[in-house]
Amino acid sequence: MTRPPIRKAVEADVPDLLPLMRKLARFEKYIDAFAITEEVLREQGFRRSPPDFHCLVAEDNRKLVGILVYYFVPFTFRAKPNVVIKELYVAEGHRSKGVGELLMKAVAKEAKKAGCGLIKWWVAKWNHRSIEFYERLGAKIDPDWHEFQMSEKTFQDLAAS
């Protein structure tokens, strides 16, 4: 298999993006909370200026086989923006063929172009294959920080208190 080209997603990709996002949600065990629709993707990714997210896609024979969704955090202590990767997914049958690495290289180029100081993302602790992949690319697990989360109900309760 030749390596598929990587490009920025366009609004016409939305019907093909959503199934890949759903597969990732199933894999990462949050499908019951998955609320993304085609209209959400169109509005938040392609009709807002600036968009809420950006997306890179890998395409093989005009079929999307990989996605990388990211966004920018414009203000950080480094006085440079960060790129935050929200989703990276490569369809079965296309894994271990360099597609994920091509998507990571493409987002690194976007970060460089934007003058970013850091790319960051989260990986499920049980997802050893992904952890090994990211470490092969030179990424490190941050030993100094724990991720905290506050659910919608919890922050609404806090706001009302």
Please name which of 144, 79, 85, 156 lies closest in space to residue 120, comparing C-alpha atoms: 85
- How many helices, marked H, and strands, marked E, lie in the chain? 5, 5
89 is catalytic: no
Catalytic residue among 70, 71, 89, 134: 134
Which residues, other chains included, contact 21 with Cβ-Cβ below 8 Å and sequence gap of 6+?
A: 34, 36, 67, 69, 87, 89
Could you check whether the bond before residue 50 is cis, i.e. omega within 30 degrees of 0? Answer: yes
Instruction: Point out the residues that are catalytic.
Output: 134
